[in-house]
Amino acid sequence: MLTVENVNLHYGAAQALRGISLTAEMGRITCVLGRNGVGKSSLLRAVTGQHGISGGSISFDGKMLNGLPPFARAKQGIGYVPQGREIFPLLTVRENLETGYAPVSRKERFIPDDIFSLFPVLQSMLGRRGGDLSGGQQQQLAIGRALVTRPKILVLDEPTEGIQPSIIKDIGRAIRYLRDSTGMAILLVEQYLDFCRELADQVYIMDRGEIVHQGAAETLDTPEARRHLTV
């Protein structure tokens, strides 16, 4: 289980996270919703070690992550699918997937078949350059690359952003499959309410760097939750 306790994060003098606490349990999909700029990506940067925190603690599987660099967190089992996908455009699909080998042991340095069952398009495009793929295919590649690192928790930053509906469905199916078949934890940041409502076991809403609501997915339909999500 991932435990975030009372976390603060600053960019210079600007505070982006204010006393954030949340948990993401194994075998469950935890969704964090919120409008633009409320600190969702900053939360994931804190969890993955992309940005240091200025207070609080983050632990996974009983181990404290504070101060560990991103590669050490990847070794602990934290897989990250960043906003904007960050595919290497000049590397092939296969090479992009192979960049996920870095944190795993030599004997695990192969691409699990599951990835191609979830996203068959990746298999048919193994020799193509990442930059030639559509946005939706790149998103599938970014998820595949994170899965190559054999994560125990998959952390996704707005995977539906700019993606066509049919691929959003595939991504939703893949996330559910990963939860159910592997028991991994999923921490998902989103702005797309319907996607979260369908997938999430547990939801949090952020506003101005704080958690302002938490509960089961059904609670997203309460007027109080809606108020935090409408512009």
Ligand X SMILES: Nc1ncnc2c1ncn2[C@@H]1O[C@H](COP(=O)(O)OP(=O)(O)OP(=O)(O)O)[C@@H](O)[C@H]1O
What residues does 141 pair with on adjacent strands? none
Q: How many residues bind ligand X (CB under 6 A)?
A: 13
Residues 2-41 binding ligand X (CB under 6 A) are 11, 14, 16, 34, 36-41
CB of 138 vs ligand X, minimal distance in Å? 17
Nearest partner of 24 among 192, 189, 195, judged by Cα: 189
Nearest partner of 157 among 117, 192, 199, judged by Cα: 192
CB distance 229 to 193 below 8 Å = yes
CB of 35 vs ligand X, minimal distance in Å? 7
CB of 214 vs ligand X, minimal distance in Å? 16
Beta-carbon-side half-sphere exposure of residue 161 (alpha carbons within 13 Å): 14
CB of 17 vs ligand X, minimal distance in Å? 8
- What's the chain's Rg over C-alpha atoms? 17
CB distance 96 to 60 below 8 Å = no
CB distance 229 to 204 below 8 Å = no
Q: Which is nearer to ligand X, 112 or 135 (CB)?
A: 135
Q: Which is nearer to ligand X, 16 or 184 (CB)?
A: 16
Q: Which is nearer to ligand X, 13 or 106 (CB)?
A: 13
For residue 87 the two structure tokens come to 């595919």
Q: Which is nearer to ligand X, 36 or 105 (CB)?
A: 36
CB of 41 vs ligand X, minimal distance in Å? 3
Bridge pairing between strands 2-11 and 14-24: antiparallel
Q: Which is nearer to ligand X, 97 or 139 (CB)?
A: 139
Asked if 52 interacts with ligand X (CB under 6 A), we say no
Residues 179-198 binding ligand X (CB under 6 A) are 191
| Interacting residue ranges for ligand X, rule: CB under 6 A | 11, 14, 16, 34, 36-42, 83, 191
